[in-house]
Amino acid sequence: MKRNNYIRVPYGMSVHGEEEIEAVVKVLCGNTALGERTREFEVKIARLFGKKHGVMVNSGSSANLLAFELLDLPKGAEVITPILTFATTVSPIVVKGLMPVFVDVEEGTFIVNTEQVRRAITKRTRALMIPSLIGNVPNLKELAAIAKKHKLFLIEDSCDTLGASFAERPTGTYSHISTTSFYGSHIINGAGGGGMIAVNNPEWARRLVILRGWGRTSSLFGETKESEDIKKRFNIKLAGIPYDAKFIFSEMGYNFLPLEISSAFALAQLKKFPAFARKRDANFARLFAFFQKYEKFFILPKTTPGAKTNWLAFALTIREGALFSRMEICKFLEERNIQTRPVFTGNILRQPAFRDIPAKTPFKNYPVTDHVMSHAFLIGCHQGLEDKHLEHIENSFDEFLSKMEEEK
């Protein structure tokens, strides 16, 4: 049977309706410049993280880069991070001339091995860059204690989740910096894009607003009437030359500005967030219950004890000695219109762009990550999946695995 004859089960998708469309149209019918919707969204997302300040940007990847711009660590300083990751969790470390120090993850959780974090710390260590990979949350209480003991910065890359907690506290209450993403496949999205960086330090928040807006000090005033005040604009000199205050560059910044339509869309999504979270939880629970009968073939995903989160996707890791390869089952599923994905980079040092980067690998082997890279894959569990989609997943796995057992 051809792929198009099967119901499509996407790995991720945006679930939106008239509310989001109306919100965007309102922006398009007025001033599209960054404004009140973005500011409202920043406040609400910061609150979800337990942080005082949120600064919206155009992506989670941009938020990660700005995190390291803020810290301004000395060249060659070491940053501990897991080797199973996403590319733009690591690339800011490299771009800023820092030294990534790689540790392994724990089986089934896809989350950093905290014992290896302890062992990897040296006199040159300055920060921990810890992703909540696939939406699972690490033991942030333990990581925060490690960071405090060794006077390290803790950056929480929560691009894969939102509104998560550990030990009944928002994840951002443990970290110095929190980042997240509103990409189209995430639990809420900003019309396909957007990101946020959240901090407590007001001076950091001020710098972030400047850094995302080309490095211009006038970014602090946005597109308000205050920014056009003639007395303020033309009451300044630059190198002794009378100048326009709107074009004073106090930082070497970027154009990481978000769109007001993204904020409007995302605000409408945020109202649906509790319902989206319940649906994701229910879909994850149903798939977990289904796959328990196949635990001889798969290592099932494990939520970190003490964590409350919404997984981005459902992760399956094929056990050694199984009757089939990852390619065999993924091709079978894709032929039945069920989308699959690998666990992002796998071992990032095997990726072409990262193969020759300056890096430290203090451990001889990274067995969990290497097994994930060759044996694990993701399927959807998002709020867009209905009973008919989950039934198709279940029936397809039943068909494939029963066939494998018959051939054995």
Q: Return the active site residues.
A: 186
pLDDT tier for residue 405 given thresholds of 50, 70 and 90: confident
pLDDT at 276: 98
pLDDT at 149: 98
Q: Is the pLDDT of residue 3 over 90?
A: no
pLDDT tier for residue 116 given thresholds of 50, 70 and 90: very high
Integer Cα distance of 371 and 164 in angstroms: 27
Q: Is the pLDDT of residue 408 over 70?
A: no
Query: How far apart, in Å, are the Cα atoms of 61 and each of 128, 160, 181, 197, 394?
Result: 17, 11, 8, 10, 34
Name which residue leads in pLDDT, 31 or 349. 349
Strands 165-166 and 169-170, how do they pair? antiparallel
Q: Is the pLDDT of residue 225 over 80?
A: no
Q: List the structure tokens of 307.
A: 């964590």
Q: What is the pLDDT of residues 289-339, one digit of tens each?
A: 999 999 999 999 999 999 999 999 999 999 999 999 999 999 999 999 999
The fraction of the chain above a pLDDT of 90, given in percent, is: 94
Closest CA to 112 of 133, 98, 127: 133
Residue holding tokens 């060659």?
A: 76
pLDDT tier for residue 227 given thresholds of 50, 70 and 90: confident
Integer Cα distance of 266 and 169 in angstroms: 24
The whole model's pTM is what? 0.96
Alpha-helix runs per DSSP H in 108-217? 114-120, 140-150, 202-212
Name which residue leads in pLDDT, 222 or 193. 193
Q: What is the pLDDT of residues 207-221, one digit of tens each?
A: 999 999 999 999 998
The three-class DSSP label of residue 121 is coil
Q: What is the pLDDT of residues 150-193, one digit of tens each?
A: 999 999 999 999 999 999 999 999 999 999 999 999 999 999 99
Q: What is the pLDDT of residues 42-77, one digit of tens each?
A: 999 999 999 999 999 999 999 999 999 999 999 999
333: β partners: none
Integer Cα distance of 138 and 128 in angstroms: 12
pLDDT at 18: 98
Q: List the structure tokens of 313.
A: 């996707």
Strand order in the sheet with 99-103: 53-57, 195-199, 177-181, 153-157, 125-131, 78-82, 99-103
DSSP H/E element including 241 = strand 241-243
Which domains are present in the chain? 3-9+273-407 (3.90.1150.10), 18-268 (3.40.640.10)
Mean of per-residue pLDDT scores for the chain:
96
Q: By the 8 A CB rule, do 113 and 104 touch?
A: yes
Closest CA to 99 of 118, 64, 137, 73: 73
pLDDT tier for residue 1 given thresholds of 50, 70 and 90: low
Integer Cα distance of 34 and 37 in angstroms: 8
pLDDT at 228: 87
pLDDT tier for residue 229 given thresholds of 50, 70 and 90: confident
Tell me the residue ranges of DSSP E strands in 28-123.
53-57, 78-82, 99-103
Q: By the 8 A CB rule, do 336 and 305 touch?
A: no
Strands 165-166 and 307-308, how do they pair? antiparallel
Q: What is the pLDDT of residues 350-373, one digit of tens each?
A: 999 999 999 999 999 999 999 999
Q: List the structure tokens of 171.
A: 């994840």
pLDDT at 309: 98
Q: Is the pLDDT of residue 407 over 80?
A: no
pLDDT at 338: 98
Integer Cα distance of 82 and 127 in angstroms: 13
